[in-house]
Structure 1
Amino acid sequence: MIGDRHIAALDQILELVVLVNDDMTRSLARAGLTVSRTHLLWELRRHGPTTQRDLAAALKVSARTVTGLVDGLETTGFVSRQPHPTDRRATLVTFTERGRQTVEAMEHGQQEFAHLLFAEMPAERFDGFTAGLGEILDRLRGIGLAQSQPGDDR
């Protein structure tokens, strides 16, 4: 049976989602990025120079959508298209210097944010927190509401 404490916990999760999303959206906008464009940059960081077809598969979007994202990132100087070394029909999307520096700065910001949120939390509480989040994510994945993220062991 769902009790008031379960509803209160869900309310806290929803508030956390809103706060983190608002902060992320503002931060990305300052860098001239959107969430979708940033997702593409993270995939490029993860895989290195990549074809648009592979980016579309990784992002689970259409080729047309990726073309629009890459066009926008190329226009703003974050990525460039290079000839594929072995496939004349394909091009590789790769970082420009601006794109590489931006992703490195985002990684640094992510580390600082994690430190701000978790550094002072006692280890036992932190372990319980991450275990609980893992259970929630597993449950959501089990009903098809969440996707595994890079680095997940699941």
Structure 2
Amino acid sequence: MKSLHDMSERPAPATVSLDRLFELAEVLGAMMQRGMAEKGLTTARAGVLWALFHGGPVTQRALATQLGVTPRNVTGLLDALQEDGLVVREAHPTDRRATLVSLTDDGRSVTSALRGGRDDLAAVLFADVPADRLATFTTILGQVTERLRAVGIDGSD
């Protein structure tokens, strides 16, 4: 029979895996913060740029919905990004009540640089991982992420 001392020294494999995920999240989060700070961005502002980079021009209201923030919050984010010359707001071509938001050339450059940094990091991290193991790793990360979303841990419910 195992003593309590033995059990406390050998956590279950799932617990060890979760501890590794927490460690990974901390390291990646710190790296992301540094990378964004070097470009003068906060996480929220980078999220706006990333959404525009992938989705193209969009109305402020649709952008707020996509990001899961209030229209007032997205207005503040856009004010700062526009002041930095990274986004532009223009009248919507077919809806005079709406404002269309898009990236400027500088905004595209900043976002492209962020994507390039991400791609470079992925190449370094996974360079020697066989394709089948990387596919398994990716599948498992997807399952874990979906389970977290299903229980509402990410706050998206």
- Three-state SS of the structure 2 residue aligned to 1:36 is helix
Distance in 2, matches of 1:135 and 1:97, equals 37
| 1:104 corresponds to 2:112 | yes
In the TM superposition, 1:1-154 aligns within 5 A as 3-146=11-154
- Identity %, equivalent residues: 44
Residue matched to 2:5 = none
Counterpart AA for 1:108: G
- Three-state SS of the structure 2 residue aligned to 1:130 is helix
Which of 1 and 2 has greater Rg? 2
Unpaired segments ≥5 residues, structure 2: 1-9
- Three-state SS of the structure 2 residue aligned to 1:86 is coil
TM-score (norm 2): 0.87
- Three-state SS of the structure 1 residue aligned to 2:101 is strand
Using the TM superposition, name which of 66-75 and 89-98 deviates more: 89-98
TM-score (norm 1): 0.88
Change (3 A) 1:104 1:147: farther
- Three-state SS of the structure 2 residue aligned to 1:120 is coil
Question: Aligned-pair distance for 1:71?
Answer: 0.3
Counterpart AA for 2:19: D
Distance in 2, matches of 1:20 and 1:102, equals 19
